[in-house]
Amino acid sequence: PGLDIRLEAAGSLICIRKITDMGRRCDLLVSADAGLIEELLVPEHADWWVEFAGNEMAVAYSDASRRSKEITDSNWHSILADPSVVVGRSDPDCDPCGYRTIMMFELAGRYYGISDLCERLLRKDSQLIRPKEIDLLQLLDAGAADYIIIYRSAAEQHGLRFVALPPQINLGDNAMAQTYASVSAQTQGAGFNGKVSVKGAPISYGAAIPRGAANPAAAAAFLAFLLSEDEGASLLKKAGMRPTEPRVRGAPESLPPTIGRLVRSAKESERP
């Protein structure tokens, strides 16, 4: 909307730590896990956040991947566990996709009745762990990895072949929230002071304007554009994401008017 956007991409955990641990300033923070904003930014560094989109986990590959002609939505887990197959995943201490991969493996083990599946998958190919999921695309392109665990939106956006996982596993179905909540994964806590446990939940993207933003009005204008039903939702869909009804959490009374007109509060969303 006529704004000069200066993007600094990193795993969501790294982006948040730039604010909380390094004292960096930004006008708008967008996280692939809205829950991280609640856990690490509010209330010390932000008053509110908006949840606005969903996604799901997927197993992406290419025609050159080992056993690519065999893989299906029912045998993918056995192919990934094959010692001859190389799997890339992102770092759970840097990127929500990384700890969601662990949750996905744990859910898959329960769904297929293989108690040690998660342990077996996490034990292999640790040399191919990367800071954020987009870094995994290079591994696949170079043939260094046969399969990568990424968001379905990224697989679709880059024209990759992928396995669409069952809703009981993919972290993309709100109706499965209770199932997802039965698993958790460890990630680096704030200030790098030990590990914290993150509970499984449907994937939800969030955004916040941190305190001390140099250009809060411009940030609010861009976020309003992103949340708009026409242009914003269309862009999200083109990127393979699932726009959801914007919901504000935290202190809605602190919302800029341009944002307040577009969102519902958590309490309003819970009304019948």
d(CA 135, CA 19): 22
On whether residue 28 sits in a domain, the answer given is: yes
pLDDT of residue 270: 47
User: What average pLDDT score do residues 205-211 get?
Assistant: 96
Beta bridge partners of 240: none
Question: Could you say which of 187, 220, 241 is where a domain stops?
Answer: 187
Three-state secondary structure string covering 30-61: EECCHHHHHHHHCCCCCCEEEEEEECCEEEEE
Sheet holding 129-130, edge to edge: 129-130, 87-90, 147-151, 57-61, 161-164
Residue 40 and residue 121 in one domain: no
Helix/strand/coil for 101: helix
Q: Looking up tokens 């956006």, which residue turns up? A: 157
Reduced to 3 DSSP states, what percent helix, strand and coil does the chain have, rounded to the nearest 5?
A: 40, 20, 40
pLDDT of residue 268: 52
On whether residue 193 sits in a domain, the answer given is: no
Question: Could you say which of 124, 156, 187 is where a domain stops?
Answer: 187
Q: At residue 264, does pLDDT exceed 90?
A: no
d(CA 234, CA 195): 38
d(CA 16, CA 259): 21
Q: Note the pTM of the prediction, 2 decimals.
A: 0.92
Domain housing 35: 12-54+203-269
- Per residue in 123-160, is it b (16+ CB within 10 Å) or e — as a string? eebeebbbbbbbbbbebbeeeebbbbbbbbbbbbbeeb
Tens of pLDDT, residue by residue over 28-76, are 999 999 999 999 999 999 999 999 999 999 999 999 999 999 999 999 9
Residue 73 and residue 166 in one domain: yes
Domain containing residue 236: CATH number: 3.40.190.10
Residue 85 and residue 160 in one domain: yes
Among 80-84, 227-231, 264-268, name the most confident range. Answer: 80-84
Q: Into how many domains does the chain fold?
A: 2
Residue 174 and residue 78 in one domain: yes
- Average confidence score pLDDT of the chain: 92
Beta bridge partners of 31: 206
DSSP conformational letter for 171:
S
Counting Cα atoms < 13 Å in the Cβ hemisphere of 198 gives: 32
**Rounded percentage of the chain residues whose pLDDT exceeds 70:** 94
Residue 63 and residue 169 in one domain: yes
User: What average pLDDT score do residues 96-109 get?
Assistant: 98
Question: Could you say which of 158, 187, 216 is where a domain stops?
Answer: 187
User: What average pLDDT score do residues 114-127 get?
Assistant: 96
On whether residue 7 sits in a domain, the answer given is: no
